[in-house]
Structure 1
Amino acid sequence: MTNPSTTSQKVAGVSYARAGEGYFEKRTLKRSAGVWGLWGLAVAAVISGDFSGWNFGIGFAGFGGMLIAFALLVLMYYGLTFSIGEMAAAMPHTGGAYSFSRSAMGPWGGLATGLAETIEYVATTAVVVYFSGAYADQALYLLTGVSLPGWVWWLILYALFIGLNAAGAAISFGFAIVVSVISIAIIVIFGVMALASGAFDWSSLWDKAPNPDIAGASVFLPEGFGAILFALPFAMWFFLGIEELPLAAEESRNPARDIPRAGLWARGTLIVTGLIVLFINTGVLGAEATGASLEPLLDGFKAFLPPQAAAILALLALIGLLASLMGIMFAYGRNMYSLSRAGYYPRWLSLTGKAQTPWVALVVGAVIGYLALVVVQAAGGDASPAGAIVLNIAVWGAVLAYFLQMVSFIILRKKFPNAARPYKSPWGLFGAYSAAIIAAIVFLGLLFNPTYLLAIVAIIVVYAVIFVGFAVYGRHRLVLSPEEEYALSGGTHGNPQQEGYDAMEGEVFGDK
């Protein structure tokens, strides 16, 4: 047996250090959410995609191409959310995707997946900040004639929502429910008003002229069948973020029951709101104008309302963007918290304050996102909007994380056959395989689109730097966090919050 005084022990190519007295007490989260709080969080994280971002896909593929992309992603997200619901119920840890892949593919697989989610959520937050600033400035200008620079809006929004997220999980979940309901109401009101006013025109869905240089181009597919590949990353904006639910596991009162249930209701909600926006917003503006708009819903309101009324509704529409800002910031905070608590990222990132929220991770993620927006906007200008580029960075991280999670689901069904699974995916392996295949196709769509090649190269560089850092330093300083304990115990030590954080420490370090 190893001496009980041992402070480091090598296991499976990495070394674990003792957490030390008070380590987890300084990194504590509070259980605050029921099923509706989780539903609100999931809808809030995604709903901004109905307000801005999705429409760039119409510019690439026309309405018909975007409609096909939407249908494919409905299939992918059903398979994905069923699968992660099963894994989240079995692993009620904040780590989410990192936790799943850590158990299935070891520390390197866990880091690869967790880093992909960090990229996804930090970049997604930046995208929402970008579009929120654009909406807010449009409303301010219409009401007062005053306009502020984008970087000022970004600074205001990051500061405000760091404060809200750091104030406590109960506030986050309560805010998410309220703004989700308001956002859904705004989308429904837009649809009803557009139809009642006669502004919606079915023929406007097809006003993008077929490209004469593309074989097979038609009114339905003006850029041909292949353009659907380029529309897929933007169609993801209708659903991207719903997969964050497992990150709330340690703040959910009953994660095994409520996370799968909340995911089911949130997915249905988002399909309905997505279809309303896809059809009616495009039918009001026309496919050509929709594909180029930075604020499609605001432009839709302006098409049938006087400017002052449109400005007021723009402020209401801003609520949808702010909902996602709250939800996605929650996600990157918990993602970075879990990876740093385990030692993959610097451990100080996982410190929590009196409100038991990971305020350090929230601040660091905001600084990274803000700098990314400033740099990309300065480099690309109006010819390459920062929001569109960072959106694709977010989608790149998302589809990589999706693919790795589905691979993990398939592996865990075989690797941990006896692990407790309080909820089982009704689609089983079919759901995981279908989601993995579609995620891989979306990934290829990003690689083949030359517009965003530099962004993808930049992310590959980030991966290389993080992996080298982990190989040299991080892998020698891991901590037996809940995610690590579950993996090392083969799925038998499932809930360290209930069973004790030191249950695996004696086994790993050989204490008598």
Structure 2
Amino acid sequence: MSSDQTAALKKVLKPIHLWAIAVGLVISGEYFGWNYGWGVSGTIGFLVATVVVTIMYVTFIFSFTELTTSIPQAGGPFAYSHRAFGWWGGLIAGYATLVEFLITPPAIAFALGSYTHFLYPSIPILYTAFACYVIFIGINLLGIKESATFSLVVTLLAVVELLVYIGIVAPHFSYETFVKEPMPFGWQGVFAALPFAIWFYLAIEGVAMVAEEVENPKKTISLGYIYGILTLVILAMAVMIFTGGVAHWSVLSSIDYPLPAALGIVLGRDSGLTHLFASLGLFGLIASFHGTIIGYSRQIFALARSGFLPSFLGKVNPRFQTPHWALFAGGLIGCIALCLGTTDQVIILAALGAVVMYIISMAALFVLRKKEPELERPFTVPLFPYFPAIALVISIICLISIVYYNPVLSLWFFGILLFMFIAFIVSGKYKNL
């Protein structure tokens, strides 16, 4: 890390800020994306998948917090796995995290385009998505970072909006509607729905990337993570269940704006409240979009700085002190993904990167417990080894399921990883890492 970069990292974040970052990174997942799970599993099938994934995330976050507080470095999972396994562990974790944070923004950009199109049908979805990249990369290039206070305000707004939404649709909830065709694809559908359930919580681990900027990380990180995951569990369950009782799942299972559409059914599409909700919903999506752009740029920068990516990607703009090449490279990949993929495909690929990272992170936790028993652990995972073991096993089940139901996307994901492995070994670069 350069001295300029070190000087820029101020330890100012408190538990409330970490809660805001954790929830803000993820909250767009409550607004869209999860509903594609209904299309492959029905309401009850998706509820089962969500309960399983929720157990995975709760046990994972408690376990991951031990790693983040023990090794509070901006590289996050890359730093833990590199320390536990050496260069190959760092490569797998870095690649998986990078895929997750590069592929998540295009999915959110699709939703931003869809919400805007819902409000103004004359504006094409893809144009809005591209414009989001240009605007927020531009903001990041100028060094105007999303302040912790701004994160807090936008996240609170998004949480309150979801609570208002639940309050409006709850009186219209119909149990008969919710259980109609509950598991049309049987237990197979439950496994196929796992990546869409992951979308409810995906990217919460991004808090690890600001670990170096946390005031009193020994205590603060654990509080931020735990309050964050509890907030998201409550919101995810409430949004999914109440929305499922408003209309048959097939009506809302293939669109990028399920909540405004559900309000349109309850209040009428032309209702002022429906339009107001869709307008405010953009703030929740913007918070997550901007957060994931910061996430991918920091991850590219950290990997380049450590020698895992071309060195020019680890350079900082001399005027604005921002990782400009990392921002451009990630934006280019995101725009290509917008052109080539659909929202459901993008979500599946992001979930694939996430579960691979979860698996190697939990493995790193077990290895570091043995390899470095004297390492200072300000927060230790409760019920060790059961919590990390549960997170590891469910992550492996999710990985097998995603690969089984999405062989082509999985082939691309693991093919690129294999190519990188071979390139590192043939070039001899791994010896210096």
TM over 0.5: yes
Q: 1:283 is matched with which residue?
A: 245
Indicate how the Cα distance of structure 1 residues 87 and 169 shifts in structure 2: closer, same or farther if over 3 A, else same: farther
Aligned partner of 2:130 among 142, 145, 155: 155
Within a 5 Å distance, the mapping from 1:341-380 to structure 2 comes to: 341-353=305-317, 356-376=321-341
Runs of 4+ aligned residues of structure 1 deviating over 6 Å after TM superposition are none
Is 1:250 the counterpart of 2:221 in the alignment?
no
Is 1:421 the counterpart of 2:394 in the alignment?
no
1:474 is displaced (CA, Å) by 7.4
1:30 is displaced (CA, Å) by 1.7
Q: 1:323 is matched with which residue?
A: 287
Task: State the number of aligned residues.
Answer: 428
Aligned partner of 1:458 among 369, 389, 412: 412
Which AA in structure 2 matches 1:30? L
Q: 1:57 is matched with which residue?
A: 37
The CA distance in 2 between the partners of 1:168 and 1:134, in whole Å, is 29
The CA distance in 2 between the partners of 1:440 and 1:129, in whole Å, is 29
Which AA in structure 1 matches 2:167? V
The CA distance in 1 between the partners of 2:213 and 2:106, in whole Å, is 25
Q: 1:271 is matched with which residue?
A: 233
Q: 1:205 is matched with which residue?
A: 178
1:175 is displaced (CA, Å) by 2.6
Q: Is the 8 A contact 1:199 1:303 kept in 2?
A: no
1:295 is displaced (CA, Å) by 1.3
Q: Secondary structure at the match of 2:245?
A: helix
Which AA in structure 2 matches 1:324? S
Q: Deviations over 1:448-473 (max 9, x none)?
A: 21xx3222222122212322332344
Q: Deviations over 1:271-329 (max 9, x none)?
A: 11101211111111222223233311110111122415222321111222112112222
Q: Is the 8 A contact 1:30 1:356 kept in 2?
A: no
Q: Is the 8 A contact 1:345 1:474 kept in 2?
A: no
Aligned partner of 1:113 among 77, 86, 93: 93
Q: Deviations over 1:64-98 (max 9, x none)?
A: 11111111112111111111111111111111101
Q: Is the 8 A contact 1:33 1:170 kept in 2?
A: no
Within a 5 Å distance, the mapping from 1:212-227 to structure 2 comes to: 220-227=182-189
1:434 is displaced (CA, Å) by 0.5
Q: 2:423 is matched with which residue?
A: 469
The CA distance in 1 between the partners of 2:345 and 2:152, in whole Å, is 30
Q: Is the 8 A contact 1:172 1:326 kept in 2?
A: no
Q: 1:389 is matched with which residue?
A: 345
**Structure of larger gyration radius:** 1
Indicate how the Cα distance of structure 1 residues 105 and 251 shifts in structure 2: closer, same or farther if over 3 A, else same: same
Normalized per residue, the structure richer in helix is: 2
Indicate how the Cα distance of structure 1 residues 416 and 267 shifts in structure 2: closer, same or farther if over 3 A, else same: same
1:39 is displaced (CA, Å) by 1.2
The CA distance in 1 between the partners of 2:324 and 2:234, in whole Å, is 34
Is 1:407 the counterpart of 2:358 in the alignment?
no
Q: Deviations over 1:229-283 (max 9, x none)?
A: 1111110111111111111112222323211110001001101110121111111
Q: Is the 8 A contact 2:116 2:123 kept in 1?
A: no
The CA distance in 1 between the partners of 2:138 and 2:60, in whole Å, is 32
Q: Deviations over 1:349-384 (max 9, x none)?
A: 2223455443332221111011122123xxxxxxxx
Which AA in structure 1 matches 2:383? W
Q: Is the 8 A contact 1:37 1:176 kept in 2?
A: yes
The CA distance in 2 between the partners of 1:131 and 1:294, in whole Å, is 5
TM-score normalised to structure 2 length: 0.94
1:396 is displaced (CA, Å) by 0.5
Is 1:173 the counterpart of 2:151 in the alignment?
no
1:391 is displaced (CA, Å) by 0.8
Which AA in structure 2 matches 1:58? W
Which AA in structure 2 matches 1:176? S
Indicate how the Cα distance of structure 1 residues 172 and 366 shifts in structure 2: closer, same or farther if over 3 A, else same: farther
The CA distance in 1 between the partners of 2:352 and 2:305, in whole Å, is 25
Q: Secondary structure at the match of 1:285?
A: coil
Which AA in structure 1 matches 2:290? M
Q: Is the 8 A contact 1:44 1:326 kept in 2?
A: no
Indicate the percent of aligned positions where both proteins have the same amino acid.
29
Which AA in structure 2 matches 1:325? F
Which AA in structure 2 matches 1:413? R
Q: 2:163 is matched with which residue?
A: 188
The CA distance in 2 between the partners of 1:355 and 1:410, in whole Å, is 41
The CA distance in 2 between the partners of 1:170 and 1:179, in whole Å, is 14
The CA distance in 2 between the partners of 1:461 and 1:226, in whole Å, is 26
1:170 is displaced (CA, Å) by 5.7
Q: Secondary structure at the match of 2:86?
A: helix
Q: Secondary structure at the match of 2:183?
A: coil
Within a 5 Å distance, the mapping from 1:118-137 to structure 2 comes to: 118-137=98-117
Q: Deviations over 1:377-408 (max 9, x none)?
A: xxxxxxxxx11101101000000000010001
Q: 1:24 is matched with which residue?
A: 2
Q: Deviations over 1:129-164 (max 9, x none)?
A: 1111111121122xxxx222x332122101122233
Q: Deviations over 1:185-231 (max 9, x none)?
A: 11111111113xx43222111223xxxxxxxxxxx433212321111
Is 1:45 the counterpart of 2:45 in the alignment?
no
The CA distance in 1 between the partners of 2:314 and 2:14, in whole Å, is 24
Q: Is the 8 A contact 1:169 1:357 kept in 2?
A: no
The CA distance in 2 between the partners of 1:478 and 1:329, in whole Å, is 29
Structure 1 gap segments, 5+ residues each: 1-22, 209-219, 377-385, 480-512
1:439 is displaced (CA, Å) by 0.6
The CA distance in 2 between the partners of 1:94 and 1:478, in whole Å, is 21
TM-score normalised to structure 1 length: 0.80
Q: Secondary structure at the match of 2:199?
A: helix
The CA distance in 1 between the partners of 2:144 and 2:396, in whole Å, is 34
The CA distance in 2 between the partners of 1:408 and 1:225, in whole Å, is 32
